[in-house]
Structure 1
Amino acid sequence: MNKINAAVVGVTGYTGIELVRILSAHPKFELSAVTSRTSAGMALQDVFPHLYNTPAGLMAVTIPDPEFIARDCQLAFLAVPHGKAMDLAASLLKLGVKVVDLSADFRIKDAETYSKWYNTPHKYPELLPEAAYGLPEMYGPMIHGANLVANPGCYPTSVLLALCPGLKKGYIDRFDIIIDSKSGTSGAGRAAKTGTLYCEVTDSFKAYSLACHRHTPEMDQEFAKAYGLEVVFSFSPHLVPMSRGILSTCYVKRSRIAPVSEILQFYKTFFRGSPHVRILPEGKLPETRWVRGTMYCDIGMVHDKRSDRLIIVSCIDNLCRGASGQAVANANLMFNFDEELGLEQLPLMP
């Protein structure tokens, strides 16, 4: 079978170059176009010297022209900021190109909610019902054959996998959830910003966007789908001085008494057939280094007897599982390939 030609739109960001890393070894997708407005006309290896003298590195970076992309590609990954992705997606879809959007433009199904949280109107609300939410473990059948997939945010990926099974089963009290998440600095993107300079983040640790992080409505939407009613939660993101990784610690009350062993067994059953979720044995908690560079989401849990809280900890690589790797898994499903195809990498150690 001929390979599917794929384009990476916005290749010079961290998620864009992570897509290049994955697609370069993919057996069914051929990396055929890489685009960037700021680096157009350069060879990719001139932007990223670690690609020197590799097939990907020798590729020419072009401007993100939908008609040019559509002439050669059947699939496009949009690794561009919100607001810009929706225009590109609409144009590419009209030209018959399947789209995986890594921005937030199609994650939130209500256009008014999107406009409120992202401070820009949604130009294509008619496309929102068409977009499959790209969490394979939850929406695999909808992603199969879809033309447009909204790749989930990195924080929501770690949190939804940790909590949605428990909400669906009724183990978790929907009125009392605290989510404490910590991310590496690559989650803020590659553009130079004072807040993510080395001297600003090293030897430091901070909370940010408390009570107003833009991933909140995405989690709100998906929790409500999982439970069937509104779920009340507090989400507190933090920045830690490391490059990659997200660790989310979720503090919940149980809506019915069940031992950790029973809940863990349910999670194992829930994720049976999901190759990228690993439920850890009772008493073992995940670490970011155990998932670095992979699609794995590791989940562990303990019961705090003093407060009678269940503490669920999940861990992902924010660039792979939280963005580019998940985008490739979604593309696999869109073209009816195995979800794992091209994503079999083991974690990097040390």
Structure 2
Amino acid sequence: MAHEAIDDLALRVRPDEPVDVATEMSRIVNRTIIRVFFGDRIPTAAADRIIPALYDIATSLVVRMALPRVPHRLPLPGDRAFHRGVATIDDVLLPAIREARRHRDGGDDVIATLCAASGSDGAELSERQVRDDVVTMFVTATETTSLTLTWLWPILRAHPEVAQRLYDEIDHVVAGDRVRHTHVPELRYLRAVLDELLRLYPVGWIFPRTALAADVIGVTGIPPGATLLVSPFLTHQMAEFWPDPQRFDPERFLSGGIPHRYAYFPFGGGPHQCLGRHVFQVEAQLIVASLLSRMRPVPSSAPVPSLKVAATLLPHERVRMAFAPASRQQVV
């Protein structure tokens, strides 16, 4: 799954020809998740249309997030881009859902499972319900992984000592083989690198929550029904929990662990954490290890991009990097 997309990238890249990192990472992640979640119901060419649609949706939501009480009937900047993105995603997913509803083949992919499911009233799920659940699962499984991997490469470029330690671990653990799920528990430094990336660049940087009852935080009264904004991005920067919080240091997650239960919550907290958490924790490691088994980023003096605040934390500038074959035994 991921291997096919990575092999395709390895055949196309040249050390003197930078590629758009966000596009390539999204393509690899999308193709992996499409196969895992949807089998052969959605062709690769159709899946690739979702990449820019998700980007448009993420960037267009920022105004609505800043003005949550404005009724949806009143147009705001970004609404047109949002609706175009939704229309593209519907154009890709709805035909597959309708086909699965017409021909119930007993498949075990997500679409087939939802089409065979019933709601709390015993009735089958509506097309809208299936569509909403499919989109939720797809977005949570892809957005965190593809965006985090987009940030990974400029960070490795800016921290060559971290990059070299990561390369050494992958070369030692994988040892010229194809990367497999059995390698994941041994890739401890890779997991720490990804954890530190999510500390500095949490994909979901702010979460709205509704107060179910009156409460007091410090000296501030919270009425029932109030909307509270909880920010992993701000919490992950608190020097009270994270010494020198601006510094990228994966060692934090190898030595002392997380200093407080809610000092680190890139996937939210409590029982309703992001559905993409477990997918990310396995697939991201497999994808990075597979990529670095085949190729390495070409050194460059380009800085780490600044942040662009949208529904997610995006690089303000498009990340372009060149890759070269890894200088060791070719992966079989």
Classify the TM-score, shorter chain: under 0.3
The two structures have a TM-score, normalised by structure 2, of 0.26
Q: Which has the larger radius of gyration?
A: 2
Q: Which has the higher contact order (CA 8 A, sep 6+)?
A: 2
Which one has a larger percent strand, Structure 1 or Structure 2? Answer: 1
Which one has a larger percent helix, Structure 1 or Structure 2? Answer: 2
